[in-house]
């Protein structure tokens, strides 16, 4: 039995791959660049070249595959649009998986995607869920809220470096989850019959607003945050302008997601029944407090070590001796 992971070089995908390999699965990863995915091969995964944008590359990648976990998504740095990757690419993958006789297909969606039809990514996720459910594949949909890993760049690093922390509108409390914990649910779904042809929320222990996260980071780092609020109307205006230019469509689609983050509505769900179905222990789920505490403890220790080394080098630096005249000059 072979498990194909799509998007294995991403923030979530790499944790899914790591977990699957550790649990003894024969893992194959669809990658666009073998060089960037070299770490997956070192872990023990098989790399196969392919691209969701080219369906003909999927046939070979799916040969002998019995299970698929799709953790792929378009990235801000990609030249491709959200529609091209998250809709057209996913449709091609689902169709190829069906044709290859894949027995299980795990798909990551977004919580409450059906409540934001005006937000391109949310609407695409909703449509993909429907397409997958009607494909005839044996599927499991995991609806996520947000990754804890993303908070480091958004809050942790700017606060440590004294850079502005951007907050948009009335920030929506979000139940962020560690991608390692999400990976547990994804791999567990493969072996639990009760998860077949079902959709489940997979979110963190509680929802956090931007202000609460900033306060927590300030306390853990001992530094004050430079909070800058971006008016939601300004972002809407920029989004509207971007819509006039084809090169700006991808940016506009991403800016539209700020409507979700600034709506003030919680992205959260009850998880008690989900833990029961998956047979996982909620006490082993990482809390946001412990995640950020571990990060700041590690970083603050590193900074202290760097400062200590600098001071040590200064003390060891040889003192410059004063200029001495030659004996000849002294005799004159």
pLDDT in tens, 279-330: 999 999 999 999 999 999 998 888 766 655 666 566 666 655 555 444 444 4
Contacts of 61 (CB under 8 A, 6+ apart): 4, 28, 30, 48, 50
pLDDT in tens, 190-249: 999 999 999 999 999 999 999 999 999 999 999 999 998 876 555 555 555 545 444 444
Residue 247: the pLDDT is 40
Residue 327: the pLDDT is 44
pLDDT in tens, 44-55: 999 999 999 899
Q: Tell me what the mean pLDDT of segment 78-101 comes to.
A: 89
- Work out the pLDDT band at 263, boundaries 50, 70, 90: confident
pLDDT in tens, 119-163: 888 999 999 999 999 999 999 999 999 999 999 999 999 999 999
CA distance 311 to 183: 43
Query: Does position 189 have pLDDT exceeding 80, yes or no?
Result: yes
Residue 328: the pLDDT is 45
Residue 332: the pLDDT is 44
193: exposed, middle or buried (Cβ count in 10 Å: 0-12, 13-18, 19+): exposed
The answer to whether 23 and 187 are in contact (CB under 8 A) is yes
Query: Does position 96 have pLDDT exceeding 80, yes or no?
Result: yes
β-bridge mates for residue 223, sequence order? none
Residue 78: the pLDDT is 61
């Amino acid at each position: 039995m072979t498990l194909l992971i799509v998007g294995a070089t991403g923030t979530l995908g790499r944790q899914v791959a790591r977990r699957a390999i550790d649990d003894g699965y024969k893992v194959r990863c669809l990658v666009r660049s073998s060089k960037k995915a070299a770490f997956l091969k070192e872990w023990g995964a098989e790399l196969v070249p392919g691209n969701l944008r080219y369906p003909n590359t999927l046939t070979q990648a799916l040969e002998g595959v019995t299970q698929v976990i799709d953790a792929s998504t378009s990235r801000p740095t990609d030249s491709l649009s959200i529609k091209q990757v998250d809709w057209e690419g996913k449709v091609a993958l689902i169709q190829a998986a069906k044709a290859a006789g894949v027995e299980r297909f795990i798909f990551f969606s977004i919580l409450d995607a059906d409540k934001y039809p005006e937000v391109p990514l949310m609407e695409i996720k909703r449509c993909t869920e429907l397409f997958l459910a009607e494909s005839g594949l044996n599927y499991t949909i995991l609806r996520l809220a947000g990754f804890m890993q993303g908070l480091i760049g958004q809050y942790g690093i700017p606060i440590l470096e004294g850079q502005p922390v951007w907050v948009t509108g009335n920030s929506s409390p979000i139940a962020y989850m560690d991608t390692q914990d999400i990976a547990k649910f994804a791999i567990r779904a493969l072996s639990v019959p009760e998860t077949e042809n079902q959709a489940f929320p997979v979110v963190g222990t509680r929802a956090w607003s931007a202000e609460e996260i900033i306060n927590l980071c300030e306390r853990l780092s001992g530094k004050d945050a430079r909070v800058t609020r971006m008016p939601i109307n300004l972002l809407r205006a920029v989004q509207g302008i971007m819509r006039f230019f084809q090169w700006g469509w991808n940016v506009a689609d991403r800016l539209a997601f700020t409507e979700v983050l600034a709506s003030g509505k919680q992205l959260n769900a009850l998880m008690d029944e989900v833990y029961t179905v998956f047979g996982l222990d909620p006490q082993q789920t990482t809390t946001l407090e412990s995640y950020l505490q571990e990060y700041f403890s590690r970083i603050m220790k590193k900074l202290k070590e760097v400062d200590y080394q600098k001071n040590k080098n200064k003390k060891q630096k040889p003192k410059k001796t004063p200029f001495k005249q030659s004996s000849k000059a002294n005799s004159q």
